Structure 1
């Protein structure tokens, strides 16, 4: 029987970004609205759509060899898994998600210890219980099915633990952040037994390398141009680069070809300066991967 790598694709907010990232890395994933088993153009990989909230436990059990989920949900389930790498999707957000302790603006609570004997509402029940237990603060933690911010406003609980990026929505609802409890980004996690298997480990590392290289290329472009050899130093001073730009002599000429990789947003400011220095034939091209 052929060995396959079972990969968990996160269903929900990370789903489309994950499929696009795999495409840039070299794999085409197809997802049907009527199936939880995406197709992939790699006979060594079998994909499954899994909610990020459950990814950690299925990876730990070995039902899935490797998957992508938020670090918060892996922590929530206390999953005994191997974290391979962070997966910060720029098209979702480059800001980490922050789980924060929140009260009403006029609450007397200034620190977690002030919630002794209080009731706290949250989706992240397991983590929140451990957070307060580790600090010796007795509280009651209730699971929230949603509209968590409204619960503390309506007096249904004394505080909430909620996820935010900037805190602006919390502030707009007349609430106040007491402290940050955890910072979370998407991570790729793997089953320990899978990592002990040489073939599966090799496949996981291959996927991780190419996905990270695709993430690294996001927002970056290549820039190539011809320029007089006498202007090389001036042009190199203008060009940002991952390392030093590539400079090659043009055949039978005192001109050179210069090539560099830089953030796309910087191109618009750099091109006029390059033209002033005599650069010609400037070409900008997209990048799929930077390895």
Structure 2
């Protein structure tokens, strides 16, 4: 059985549980439950504080864990990142008061910086040869400059609205982060086999989210031009319609190129374009 550590609460918990569900793994996690087993996959789930997950994985109490990259690098434990999961995107950034004349990282020289990430903050300062005083605090970092505790902060930023509310501006990005799957370095063959099965499901779910299934009607005289715009997984599926001179074309488009391709398909003569989300995509 594989042992997985996830956040018991917080910004990654819901997305982690949703990912397991989308992978077809049934998990029952009632109120205040700290440990449970999947009903249809050899997986035991521990619900832990996010800061503790790297330590539990390093010690092989948990075999794998879902945690933010920011926590992995801050805790600096010898665990291996095996997969980026595509949710929980944020960045660890330096921010100062909006009215401050900030010109470069050298502007932090001699300043007081409040943060919950002292290791990464110190690494950043050392890399840039800046001497500053770090104040480690566990929460509400963004209020530190306003109450005179610090001149700047180093904290996680998503939309930036919290900084704006507290009269701060983002100046330097230390780390771009997202949720990752980590493992310890003492895996045996049976554990690796189970992890490979889990990764197979995760890859199918991620691939589906990054692609759309489209169906369209195409005049036959424009078919070659339209097909050239639709590579699909191998090549588009083309079926004749009852209406002579027309064909139905089925394909897959990646999210990144979706709107550009749709515009070009319309311009090439495609009609009745239907777009359908994909639940799983097995390559």
Q: Do these two structures clear the TM 0.5 threshold for a shared fold by scoring above it?
A: yes
Q: What is the CA–CA distance in structure 1 between the aligned matches of 2:65 and 2:133, rounded to whole Å?
A: 32
Mean Cα deviation higher: 174-183 or 151-160: 174-183
User: Which residue is equivalent to 1:60?
Assistant: 58
> CA–CA distance in 1 between the matches of 2:266 and 2:245?
21
Deviation string 1:49-85 (CA, Å, 9 cap, x unpaired) is 1232222121111111111111100011001111101
1:212 partnered with 2:203: yes
CA distance in 2, matches of 1:31, 1:192: 28
Asked if structure 2 preserves the Cα contact closer than 8 Å seen for 1:8 and 1:68, the reply is yes
Quote the offset at 1:259 in angstroms. 2.0
- Alpha carbons of 1:138 and 1:263: their partners in 2 closer, same or farther (altered >3 Å)? closer
Matched residue count: 278
Aligned to 1:188: 181
1:20 to 18, 21, 32: 18
Contact 1:132 1:138 in 2 (8 A): yes
What is the TM-score when the length of structure 1 is the normalising length? 0.79
Matched, 1:85 2:83: yes
Partner of 1:27, secondary structure, is coil
1:151-171, Cα deviation, whole Å (9 max, x unpaired): 112221121102113434424
Instruction: Report if aligned partners of 1:30, 1:40 keep a CA contact under 8 Å in 2.
Output: yes
Aligned partner of 1:130 among 111, 123, 126: 123
Shift of 1:43: 4.7
Distance, in Å, in 2 between the alignment partners of 1:30 and 1:23 is: 10
Which aligned pairs between 1:235-250 and structure 2 lie closer than 5 A?
Answer: 235-236=226-227, 239=230, 241-247=232-238
- In structure 1, distance between residues paired with 2:32 and 2:161: 37
2:192 aligned with 1:201, yes or no? yes
Question: Post-superposition, which runs of at least 4 consecutive aligned residues in structure 1 deviate over 4 A?
Answer: 224-231, 237-240, 253-257, 263-266, 276-279, 282-285
Q: CA RMSD in A?
A: 3.4
Q: Extract unaligned runs of 5+ from structure 2.
A: none
Q: Deviations over 1:204-224 (max 9, x none)?
A: 122123212202211633234
Q: From the superposition, tell whether residues 216 and 52 of structure 1 become closer, same or farther in structure 2 (CA, over 3 Å).
A: farther
Q: Partners of 2:70 and 2:126 in 1: how far apart?
A: 18
Q: Name the structure 1 match of 2:2.
A: 5
Gaps of 5+ in 1: none
